[in-house]
Amino acid sequence: MKKISVVLFDLGNVLVHVDLDAFWKELGLHEPAQRKQYENAYRAAYLDFEMGAITTDSFLDQLEQGAKGNFTREQLRKAFLSIIRQPVEGMESIVKRVGNLCQTALVSNTNELHYNYSLETVPALKLLHEHFLSFRLKVMKPSHRYYEEIIRAFNIPSEAALFIDDVQENVEGTLAAGMRAHLFTTPSELEHTLEVMHVLQ
């Protein structure tokens, strides 16, 4: 079996904790009934934003329209950024160690607002050699085309890449593309796996 030469890290709940409910909580909408009138417009705009189908300004425009005058643009922007929480403890060290031994990359379904905010608040991102982002690629995991973009960029056999993600569906997509994958649970468990796979010494 090919030696792993590239390790790919997901962003949300691998490098940084995310809380999708934080958007609603920040706006004071704690109960499902309170959110109902806004949910459809929010979800549609969110998906388009992560797919790179709309700009940041267009996304915020759509949030404002969906808010029906009940929240300001700045309130909505801050609530959206609040989804990104604190870095996952222990992952910066692992990323640094792996990056000293092989190529690394960020591979994330994300959007411009969350990505730029994470660049400022998650130190591990600056240690990764490449960043593959859904809003730039115009495709999302677990699409086969997403993984093909990565293999093409690194010009390696697919089995030489190891992908780390916390979502089973994305792990399955990775395996279907011929890459190796690890379902993330904790940094210590990941560290053990990397040692077993001879990525870390």
One domain, residues 13 and 29: no
Report the length, in residues, of the chain: 201
**What are the φ and ψ backbone dihedral angles of 107, each rounded to 5 degrees?**
-130, 105
One domain, residues 145 and 167: yes
**Domains: count for the chain:** 2
**CA dihedral defined by 159, 161, 167, 172, rounded to 10 degrees?**
-10
Domain edge (last residue) among 55, 82, 109: 82
Domain boundaries, position 27: 20-82
- Residue 113 domain flag: yes
What CATH code is carried by the domain that includes residue 158? 3.40.50.1000
Is the pLDDT assigned to residue 7 strictly greater than 90? yes
The band of 2, judged by pLDDT with boundaries at 50, 70 and 90, is: confident
Is the pLDDT assigned to residue 4 strictly greater than 70? yes
Instruction: Tell me if residue 8 falls in helix, strand or coil.
Output: strand
State both tokens at 74. 């700045």
The pTM assigned to this predicted structure is 0.94
One domain, residues 73 and 106: no
One domain, residues 176 and 104: yes
pLDDT one-digit tens code per residue, 141-182: 999 999 999 999 999 999 999 999 999 999 999 999 999 999
One domain, residues 39 and 56: yes
State both tokens at 22. 């934080």
Cα(92)–Cα(103) distance, rounded to whole angstroms?
Answer: 15
Is the pLDDT assigned to residue 201 strictly greater than 90? no
pLDDT one-digit tens code per residue, 41-75: 999 999 999 999 999 999 999 999 999 999 999 99
